[in-house]
């Protein structure tokens, strides 16, 4: 075999090996890119799933366990003050019901949805979401359905018995408003007042509130730190 033929064959062999290395290198790079893409997609999905799970847990807690609320206005002084941050329990409302002396949050102006109006009447659903335009009252339960409320000489009587109200400050007397006394609470309703009787807008003006309008019961104060603890 001539030297030229040998050289040509050697050259062709070297080119074959080089091309084969290029192909392998390209395959490795392709596999590496695909693996990275799969890993990125898998990681993105995992983050999305974790985020969706966290949102679902928060909504379930808000809807069925409890949520924080902030106090606006002086109607519950001296028990509660402006900007106090409280924990409202929804689960205790379901397990223990409403009792005289409880501090409750009452939905006055229900939140409405801009587009999904068919959900406006689904109470548990509309209460899942935080909103700035929902108007709620924080008041104390004075009487339950069937009870008769009366006010004599600045004191509250329920079923002709003086109501013990240790939460009222000295000199904080109670007077009638627009509702004629004595007043019998209708079935399925409660009679509420604010602890600051002079300024509170409550059942003395608005009448009894439906039990269905109660969102939850105030059980704990988290702010300010100097007053952290249970609320009675």
Question: Which is more confident, 148 or 132?
Answer: 148
Indicate if 109 and 51 belong to the same structural domain: no
Indicate if 60 and 74 belong to the same structural domain: no
Indicate if 74 and 40 belong to the same structural domain: no
Indicate if 92 and 205 belong to the same structural domain: yes
Q: How many domains does the chain have?
A: 2
Domain span at 174? 65-230
Residues near 186 by beta carbon (within 8 Å), at least 6 away in sequence:
145, 208
Query: If you average pLDDT over every residue of the chain, what do you get?
Result: 81
Residue 38: is it exposed, middle or buried by C-beta count within 10 angstroms (0-12/13-18/19+)? exposed
pLDDT at 18: 47
Q: Does pTM surpass 0.75?
A: no
Indicate if 110 and 7 belong to the same structural domain: no
Alpha-carbon distance of 216 to 91, in angstroms, equals 8
Indicate if 116 and 54 belong to the same structural domain: no
Indicate if 123 and 10 belong to the same structural domain: no
Indicate if 82 and 49 belong to the same structural domain: no
Contact 176, 151 (CB under 8 A): yes
pLDDT at 224: 93
């Amino acid at each position: 075999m001539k030297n030229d033929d040998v050289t040509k064959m050697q050259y062709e062999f070297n080119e074959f090996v080089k091309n084969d290395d290029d192909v392998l290198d390209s395959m490795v790079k392709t596999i590496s890119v695909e693996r990275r893409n799969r890993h990125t997609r898998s990681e993105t999905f995992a983050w999305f799933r974790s985020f969706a799970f966290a949102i679902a847990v928060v909504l379930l807690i808000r809807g069925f366990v409890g949520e924080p609320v902030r106090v606006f206005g002086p109607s519950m002084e001296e028990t509660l003050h402006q900007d106090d941050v409280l924990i409202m329990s929804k689960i205790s409302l379901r397990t223990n019901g409403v009792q005289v002396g409880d501090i409750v949050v009452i939905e006055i102006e229900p939140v409405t949805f801009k587009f999904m109006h068919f959900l406006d009447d689904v109470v548990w659903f509309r209460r899942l979401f935080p909103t700035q335009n929902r108007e709620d009252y924080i008041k104390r339960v004075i009487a339950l359905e069937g009870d008769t409320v009366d006010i004599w000489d600045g004191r509250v009587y329920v079923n002709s018995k003086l109501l013990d109200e240790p939460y009222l400050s000295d000199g904080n007397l109670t007077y009638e408003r627009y509702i004629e006394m004595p007043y019998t609470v209708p079935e399925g309703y409660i009679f509420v007042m604010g602890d600051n009787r002079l300024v509170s807008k409550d059942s003395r003006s608005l009448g009894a509130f439906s039990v269905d309008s109660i969102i939850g019961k105030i059980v704990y104060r988290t702010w300010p730190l100097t007053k952290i603890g249970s609320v009675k």
